[in-house]
Amino acid sequence: MTHANEHAHPVTSPKTYGLVLLALLVLTVITVQASYFDFGPWNTVVALIIASAKGSLVALFFMHLRHDKFNAVIFVGGLLFLAIFLIWTLFDISTRQTVLPSNLKTPVEEFPGAPLGGPVRPSTGQPRGMPAQ
Amino acid sequence: MSTAVPSAHAHAEGGHTPFLQHHFREMSQQFDAAKIGMWLFLVTEVLLFGGLFVGYGIMHARHPEAFMAAHHHLDKTMGALNTVVLLISSFTMVLSVWAAQTSRKKLLILFLLLTLACAGTFMVVKYFEYSHKFHEGLLPGKYYSHKGDTVPGQFLFFSFYFMMTGLHGIHVLLGMAAIAWLVWRAARGHFSSAYYAPVEITGLYWHLVDLIWIYLFPLMYLIS
Amino acid sequence: MNWFRDFLLPRGASTHVGEMDGLFMFITWLTVFFFFFNGALILYAVRRWRRRSNKEVTPHITHDTRLELVWSLIPLAVVMLIFLWGFKGYVKAWVVPNDAMEIIATGKKWVWEFEYPDGTRTLNDLHVPVNRPVKLVLTSEDVIHSFYIPEFRLKRDAIPGRYTELWFTATEPGIAQVYCTEYCGKGHSDMLARIFVDTPEQYETFLREGDEQVQKMPLKDLGRLVWENKGCATCHSLDGTRGQGPSWKGIWNQRHRGADGKEHLVDADYIRQSILMPQAMVVQGYEPIMPTYQGLLREREILGLIEFIKELQ
Amino acid sequence: MSEGVLHAGAGHAVHHADYLEEPKGLWSWLTTVDHKRIGLMYMWSVLFFFLVGGIFALLIRLELLTPKQTIMDAETYNRVFTLHGAIMTFLVIIPAIPAALGNFALPLLLGAKDVAFPRLNLASLYVYWTGAAMAVATLALGGVDTGWTFYTPYSTTTGGGVTLMVLAAFVLGFSSIFTGVNFIATIHKLRAPGMGWFEMPLFCWGMYATALIQILATPVLGITLLLIVMERVLGVGIFDPQLGGDPVLFQHFFWFYSHPAVYIMILPAMAVISEVIPTFSKKTIFGYKAIAFSSVAIALLGFLVWAHHMFVAGMSLFAGAIFSFLTFFIAIPSAIKVFNWIATMWRGSISLEAPMLYAISFLLIFTIGGLTGLFLAALSTDVHLHDTYFVVSHFHYVMAGSNLIALLAGMHYWWPKMYGRLYNKKLAAISCALIFIGFNMTFLPQFVLGSRGMPRRYFNYLPQFQDLHVASTIGSWVLAAGLFLTAAYLLASFRQPKGMAANPWGGRTLEWETTSPPTTHNFEGQPVLQHGPYDYRPEPAPVGVKELAH
Ligand code: HEA
Ligand code: HEA
Ligand code: CUA
Ligand SMILES: [Cu+2]
């Protein structure tokens, strides 16, 4: 039938697991070290690539997806839909143009309701950052 | 998931354990079903956390200075320490699955306890991190009261920090409860190569918790 | 079949009407067609092949790829046509011509405020010249509202913290109704506004002196009109029921206690102050939510309100 | 009664008490793990909330009889339509077919003894009840006035029980997820021997597609709702423009779930129709694979189109175009289904029993409901129609008109199997007609209202709209009369003794092979499939429930 694990559940030896752990620890060191370098806009990308490498190790070995094609499809499917969520949302968020009235006197504030200290939300007079009533 | 406690209707046939539920024809069918169920549940977890990741990503892109400034308040060492602890716990967890697969009862219990210990360490480290942040007023949303900021909007970063690590922490606690339950059952000798589905699927859950942290760590602590 | 269109759709009074109405009627006919087509097929099948005995044997037809392709590809073609048609109209409504006159429209619970290029401000009544492209820049002060003019076939949300835009060229002088179509709370369905499409001369006069109505009307009636049109009615009733703000019934010459505990006599100055600087004296038991009408009401309108309130005994 | 009986099933000599009787007592029901009992308890809970939501609907209609205040004030009205919408979506229509009929029928159709995780199934019911109790408890906190869509920043700033309502929906999400997980595992692992994917009844395909959506979309709703709670409690800022957030982002989050959710509502309805039509046409389904795959296609495509609810919400032009374009593709699998069903009736032997009458109503109403979706999917027309009564009417045509009518079709279809009793057929036909007429009377005028510019969620409206509102209100009474009549004769059927044959309609799927009502373990032994689900040829190998040697 559909499942590779239908009959035998292959047993992986502890040694393999040990090697995987080692690899994971090494990658952790690498990613911490890499955070001290400046790759410019690629910083996040580098960090995410290393994280994905670690994630794949965990999924393939610890979670046995190596031997478990069926559940791998489920899992990757889930990730795929997460990607759709992100990308389709970006279709909107990253292609919006900013509309401004031509006579806008003051520049648009980044955090009108909550800059550094304490005061108020302009429209309702409540303390900053409070949900209005 | 809750598939594998002996049920009133269970009947031991073909030399199987008493853990076969009445509506399954054979043990492997039950095992596969439990695994599929767990993986589907993990997918829902991925999407649950995914929502927060997407929100984090978009807010980060919108206010890069605020996020940059705010993340310096986190302690990389603590984060890295916790990463290592969780990775090791995943390792001990997978070893307990192996011990169950090979019917090594003592080792099984030992590895489960080690996993619990790692999880406990993780929570203790988190506790120190949290209390430090509370102290400094680095709190989410409207409770943010840190003094001396120069970049506005840092509270947004901490909103996400607490929501994401908090949700993750809740998952760690739930995982610990599940593992404790496994220890209890292992001690009663329920698990062997013939029946270890609960160990396997709890393991899957635990690895997912680890996996999520693997992404949280760089996104929270290391992004620059 | 114009009567059918006129039955379904309101009067069309802007340049966006053509695109939208054509497509609307096309899909309407498509829906009518498929409803009757499917209905007829079903009726036919039911009458022709109604079960008469339990022993009837039916042919074993599992599928027919060609037929199935037919009824996938035809709908595909139809929907692609609809998409392109709709897209065309949308792009047209989206891209603002350069020479459009800009008016800023701000939604807040539950009034619309308009600011014209020369600084004139009006509440709930928007005056625009006919046959001139007008661009509305929309924003909101509290929650999301939406600016909807059915007769122009146009709508766009007004979002707090952001600006969105909307443009049209009104083609017929007259009055067009505006609705708020994003749910915004208690007064959502009363958050109405009107667009007065003026001839160029009317528009000039409006900018100079306010609407003609305002000029000629007796003060008392003007007061009532302001109450209806400038948003007072959303908060103040005339019959004594308590709204967001106190009712106006019988307040003239009463003494009202403010939140500060002092008493004030409701006279002309008091009313003027309540309108222009509402926060200066907040009636006890009410929230300080009344917006200021500084710059929004002409002198004659304020006098009208005072007369109007005087009459409400 | 026994007219339709083709073969009286496997006439087993040994009599077993059926699942309704054995074991006895309320406690045994509350702790049961039997999918059939859980299904029934779900069904009655759903019907109860349907009644509650329906009463709210009648109040809405009554209020709208006159342009100004009729029976309640604006604030009450806002709470009433919010509760109506929230109850109808989260408590009625999402669990209606999957959790009620699906739980009852899916294992039977698969030839299984139960779902894969019976206790998870029971947990799902309790979670549902908890969520329902929380939703009702919001009334004590002054109700909720946000609309069922909970748009920010309104929902994060208004008073009342929003937090509790949002948490209720969050909890209800879990019950939906549990059902979904259960069904997928069941379909993968518990099909009867010999039942390949394409020997599965189409109902199961529909449930499978539904479960996919439940699993992939519901968690995002969960996190969205939690974010509202966080926004209200902590002011986290993600949706609050004052705090650097983006209220429109909320709409993306919300619709990422709620658009696919509309297919959680319609796919199960289609699944029921795919069972009813072949049975009462006594003819094999036309284009099995096309119908099966179109269910999955609708489920997956449904994830790509959510922002068609946001064309005027300040999205970019580019996003508008993409989302509109993709939306149209959903029309194709839907069209395939509709025409394949009609083709199934072609040259059949059509018997107009109550389930078939409902199925035909479904076909007609869904055609209108679906095609009016195209007005909304097209950009320029949506600009005019968005948030008007046209939208209200569109979704009632697909939710109330299609889904609930399919629920009724399914209930009438499986009622003999559930209870071993039959309802009064004549009354059934009459009330089906009343429902069809009443429904169209209620909602056809609303299309015209909408296209003429009447916005939704309006407490007051301009007098020019009154005529159509009056027509709609009167229609709602006809509709209510039909539904109350249905409830009456269904309840009256309990006065008859149990005596149904195993297979009253002459269906060919496995549930008809066991007794009506079935025993606790569904079948005597393990049924083995010997012909396809809709094989009405006189010749095929004898249908069989066969003892499978363990
Ligand atoms: C069961 C629920 C359900 C279903 C099945 C659908 C089905 C569809 N819906 Fe609907 N919809 C809702 C429930 C549903 N909807 C709800 C609840 C809302 C409003 C929520 C709110 O705001 O509160 C909504 C709102 C809504 C909008 C947003 C409107 C707005 O707010 O501006 C849009 C826009 O694209 C839309 C489109 C569609 C389309 C294209 C389909 C398609 O899937 C329809 C496909 C079906 C057919 C096309 C008919 C069958 C085919 C034929 C008979 C063959 C002939 C066909 C052709 C020639 C093409 N819907
Ligand atoms: C499943 C979904 C569903 C169903 C079935 C209905 C059913 C009905 N709805 Fe509702 N409706 C919604 C979902 C649904 N609605 C949603 C999501 C909204 C949007 C809310 C918002 O804007 O936030 C809405 C909004 C809405 C409005 C718009 C309010 C506004 O915008 O101001 C109106 C107005 O007419 C309305 C009317 C009705 C009517 C008359 C019915 C009738 O069909 C009801 C008939 C039912 C009965 C009269 C009960 C009878 C039941 C029994 C007797 C028990 C059953 C037992 C058996 C049959 C055995 N609904
Ligand atoms: Cu403003 Cu609705
Ligand atoms: Cu949709």
pLDDT digits (tens, 9 = 90+) for A82-97: 999 999 999 999 888 8
Please name every residue paired with C176 in a beta bridge, in sequence order, or none if there are none: C195
- C-alpha pair distances (Å), A24 with each of A15, A29, B78, B90, D457: 14, 9, 17, 11, 55
Domain boundary among C169, C197, C213: C213
Q: What percent of chain D clears pLDDT 70, i.e. is strictly above it?
A: 95
Indicate which CATH number applies to the domain containing C41.
1.10.287.90
Is C29's C-beta closer than 6 angstroms to any atom of ligand 1? no
- A56 and A73: one domain? no
Domain boundary among C94, C119, C150: C94
Contact B207 A62 (CB under 8 A): yes
Contact A123 C142 (CB under 8 A): yes
- C189 and C116: one domain? yes
Q: Which amino acid is at A90?
A: L
Examine residue B135 and state whether it is found in any structural domain, yes or no.
yes
Examine residue B85 and state whether it is found in any structural domain, yes or no.
yes
Put simply, whether A106 touches C (Cβ < 8 Å) is no
Confidence of residue A110 (pLDDT cuts 50, 70, 90): low
Helix ranges (H only) for B63-153 are 64-71, 76-101, 105-136
- C90 and C105: one domain? no
- C-alpha pair distances (Å), A97 with each of A34, A107, B172, C154, D141: 35, 16, 42, 20, 41
Query: Coil, strand, or helix at residue C202?
Result: helix
Q: What is the ipTM of this complex?
A: 0.88
Measured in angstroms, how far is the CA atom of residue D448 from the centroid of ligand 4? 21
* Of A30-34, C278-282, D360-364, the least confident: C278-282
Question: Which tens digit of pLDDT belongs to each residue from D44-66?
Answer: 999 999 999 999 999 999 999 99
Measured in angstroms, how far is the CA atom of residue D53 from the centroid of ligand 2? 6
C-alpha closest to that of B56 among D154, D237, C2: D237
Shortest Cα distance from D301 to chain A (angstroms)? 11
Examine residue A76 and state whether it is found in any structural domain, yes or no.
yes
In the predicted model, what is the mean pLDDT of residues A49-78? 93
**Lookup: tokens for D151:** 């748009």
Domain boundary among C94, C117, C145: C94
Closest CA in chain C for residue A131 = C142
Look at residue B6 in the predicted model and tell me its pLDDT.
Answer: 36
Mutate to test the interface with A, among C95, C103, C104, C167 (most CBs of A within 10 A): C104
Confidence of residue D290 (pLDDT cuts 50, 70, 90): very high
In the predicted model, what is the mean pLDDT of residues C180-208? 90
Q: Which tops the pLDDT comparison, A26 or B146?
A: A26
Q: What percent of chain B clears pLDDT 70, i.e. is strictly above it?
A: 92
Q: Which domain holds residue C12?
A: 2-51+59-94
C with A: touching (≥3 Cβ pairs within 8 Å): yes
* Of C188-202, D7-21, D135-149, D410-424, the least confident: D7-21
In the predicted model, what is the mean pLDDT of residues A111-120? 45
Look at residue B12 in the predicted model and tell me its pLDDT.
Answer: 38
Using the predicted structure, report yes or no on whether residue D541 has a pLDDT greater than 60: no
Q: How many residues does chain A have?
A: 133
Look at residue A133 in the predicted model and tell me its pLDDT.
Answer: 32
Nearest CB partner across the interface for A92, out of D159, D241, D307? D307
Site to probe by mutation for ligand 1, drawn from D97, D259, D326, D334 as the one with most ligand atoms within 8 Å of Cβ, is D334
Look at residue A116 in the predicted model and tell me its pLDDT.
Answer: 46
- A55 and A18: one domain? yes
Look at residue A2 in the predicted model and tell me its pLDDT.
Answer: 38
Proximal ligand: closest to the CA of C182 = 3
In the predicted model, what is the mean pLDDT of residues D19-30? 87
Examine residue B13 and state whether it is found in any structural domain, yes or no.
no
- C126 and C204: one domain? yes
- C88 and C135: one domain? no
Contact B98 A14 (CB under 8 A): yes
Residue at token pair 């619709």: D255
- C70 and C151: one domain? no
Look at residue C119 in the predicted model and tell me its pLDDT.
Answer: 65
Question: Which tens digit of pLDDT belongs to each residue from D391-421?
Answer: 999 999 999 999 999 999 999 999 999 999 9
D421, D499 Cβ separation under 8 angstroms = yes
Question: Which tens digit of pLDDT belongs to each residue from D325-370?
Answer: 999 999 999 999 999 999 999 999 999 999 999 999 999 999 999 9
Measured in angstroms, how far is the CA atom of residue B207 from the centroid of ligand 4? 35
Question: Which tens digit of pLDDT belongs to each residue from D75-117?
Answer: 999 999 999 999 999 999 999 999 999 999 999 999 999 999 9
D412, D423 Cβ separation under 8 angstroms = yes
Helix ranges (H only) for C14-145 are 17-48, 65-94
Using the predicted structure, report yes or no on whether residue B4 has a pLDDT greater than 50: no
Q: For chain A, list the contacting chains (3+ Cβ pairs, <8 Å).
A: B, C, D
Look at residue C302 in the predicted model and tell me its pLDDT.
Answer: 87
Q: For chain B, list the contacting chains (3+ Cβ pairs, <8 Å).
A: A, D
Examine residue A114 and state whether it is found in any structural domain, yes or no.
no
Write out the residues surrounding ion ligand 4, Cβ under 5 A: D 259
* Domain count across chain B: 1
Using the predicted structure, report yes or no on whether residue C109 has a pLDDT greater than 90: no
Look at residue D5 in the predicted model and tell me its pLDDT.
Answer: 33
Look at residue A100 in the predicted model and tell me its pLDDT.
Answer: 80
Using the predicted structure, report yes or no on whether residue D8 has a pLDDT greater than 50: no
Q: What percent of chain D clears pLDDT 90, i.e. is strictly above it?
A: 78
Using the predicted structure, report yes or no on whether residue A56 has a pLDDT greater than 90: yes
Shortest Cα distance from C17 to chain D (angstroms)? 10
Rounded to an integer, what distance in angstroms lies between the CA atom of residue B96 and that of residue B112? 6
Q: Which domain holds residue A77?
A: 69-95
The answer for D282, left when phi > 0, alpha when psi is -120 to 50, beta otherwise, is: left
* Of C80-94, C109-123, D481-495, D536-550, the least confident: D536-550
Q: Which tops the pLDDT comparison, C42 or A120?
A: C42
- CATH for D28-513? 1.20.210.10
Mean pLDDT (chain B, rounded): 87
In the predicted model, what is the mean pLDDT of residues D253-279? 95
In the predicted model, what is the mean pLDDT of residues C197-204? 89
Q: Give the distance, in angstroms, between the CA of residue D79 and the centroid of all CA atoms in the same chain.
A: 24
Using the predicted structure, report yes or no on whether residue C295 has a pLDDT greater than 80: no
Residue D192 DSSP class: P
Look at residue C1 in the predicted model and tell me its pLDDT.
Answer: 64
- C176 and C257: one domain? no
The contacts of residue D511 (CB under 8 Å, 6+ apart) are D105, D108, D109, D414, D417, D518
Look at residue A22 in the predicted model and tell me its pLDDT.
Answer: 95
Using the predicted structure, report yes or no on whether residue A107 has a pLDDT greater than 60: no
Using the predicted structure, report yes or no on whether residue C129 has a pLDDT greater than 50: yes
Nearest CB partner across the interface for A100, out of C141, C161, C163? C163
Q: Are strands C121-123 and C125-129 parallel, antiparallel or unpaired?
A: unpaired
Please name every residue paired with D455 in a beta bridge, in sequence order, or none if there are none: D388
Using the predicted structure, report yes or no on whether residue D118 has a pLDDT greater than 80: yes
Question: Which tens digit of pLDDT belongs to each residue from C66-91?
Answer: 999 999 999 999 999 999 999 999 99
Q: What percent of chain B clears pLDDT 90, i.e. is strictly above it?
A: 62
Using the predicted structure, report yes or no on whether residue D463 has a pLDDT greater than 60: yes
Indicate which CATH number applies to the domain containing C123.
2.60.40.420
Put simply, whether A102 touches C (Cβ < 8 Å) is yes
Contact B88 A21 (CB under 8 A): yes
C-alpha closest to that of D123 among D62, D43, D45, D33: D33
Compute, in degrees rounded to 10, the torsion defined by CA atoms D385, D389, D395, D400.
-170
- A15 and A44: one domain? yes
In the predicted model, what is the mean pLDDT of residues B88-117? 94
* Domain count across chain C: 3
**Numbered residues of chain C with Cβ closer than 8 Å to any chain A Cβ:** 102, 104, 117, 137, 141-142, 161-165, 288
- A18 and A59: one domain? yes
Using the predicted structure, report yes or no on whether residue A1 has a pLDDT greater than 50: no
A with B: touching (≥3 Cβ pairs within 8 Å): yes
Peptide bond preceding D477 in cis form (omega within 30 of 0): no
* Domain count across chain A: 2
In the predicted model, what is the mean pLDDT of residues C34-43? 97
Confidence of residue B224 (pLDDT cuts 50, 70, 90): low
Examine residue B60 and state whether it is found in any structural domain, yes or no.
yes
**Lookup: tokens for B144:** 């943010």
Residue at token pair 């443009």: C167
In the predicted model, what is the mean pLDDT of residues B39-68? 92
Contacts of B92 in chain A (CB under 8 A): none
Examine residue A113 and state whether it is found in any structural domain, yes or no.
no
Question: Which tens digit of pLDDT belongs to each residue from D121-151?
Answer: 999 999 999 999 999 999 888 889 999 999 9
Ramachandran angles phi, psi of D206, nearest 5°: -60, -45
Measured in angstroms, how far is the CA atom of residue D395 from the centroid of ligand 2? 10
Contacts of A125 in chain C (CB under 8 A): 288
Indicate which CATH number applies to the domain containing B133.
1.20.120.80
Put simply, whether A123 touches C (Cβ < 8 Å) is yes
Contact A85 B141 (CB under 8 A): no
C-alpha closest to that of D417 among D203, D212, D267: D203
Ramachandran angles phi, psi of A38, nearest 5°: -110, 110
Q: Which amino acid is at D332?
A: I
Residue B156 DSSP class: H
Contact A125 C288 (CB under 8 A): yes
In the predicted model, what is the mean pLDDT of residues B203-223? 93
Closest CA in chain A for residue C142 = A123
